[in-house]
Amino acid sequence: GASFSPLEFKWDSIMSGIVEMGLKTFTECMRIQTLGTPGLHLIQIDTYVLRLLLRSFTVEEVVLDSMLDESISSAAERCLAPSPLDPQVLESICERKLVNLAG
């Protein structure tokens, strides 16, 4: 499990705390699901995009990466037939998503 860093009354510290709590909740939601392969693929896509988008909201990049890795791992454990997306396919899908999000 992740250990949360103590909060200070500063914007970056508060945002880091919010990101950490949100990702912990996301991971816990994975642990009560049963996923098919498409569900695992969606989690891979979401965590890839979150990894890039959330960097600007946290000073704890190591914690961010660890929590997102834990989310993917939990999803794979709860998947009936885990068959992860090929990294190049994942990158291609996520690049399109990021372009759409950026406008």
What's the pLDDT score for residue 4?
A: 65
Alpha helix locations (H) across the chain?
11-30, 37-53, 61-77, 87-102
Rounded to two decimals, the pTM is: 0.84
Digit-by-digit pLDDT tens for the chain (103 residues) are 455 667 788 888 888 889 999 999 999 998 898 999 999 999 999 999 999 999 888 878 899 999 999 999 999 999 999 999 999 999 999 999 899 888 7
Sign of torsion, CA 37 42 73 1? negative
Could you tell me if residue 99 is left (phi over 0), alpha (psi between -120 and 50 degrees) or otherwise beta?
A: alpha
Query: Are the CB atoms for 96 and 48 separated by under 8 Å?
Result: no
CA-CA distance, 23 to 48, in Å (whole number)?
13
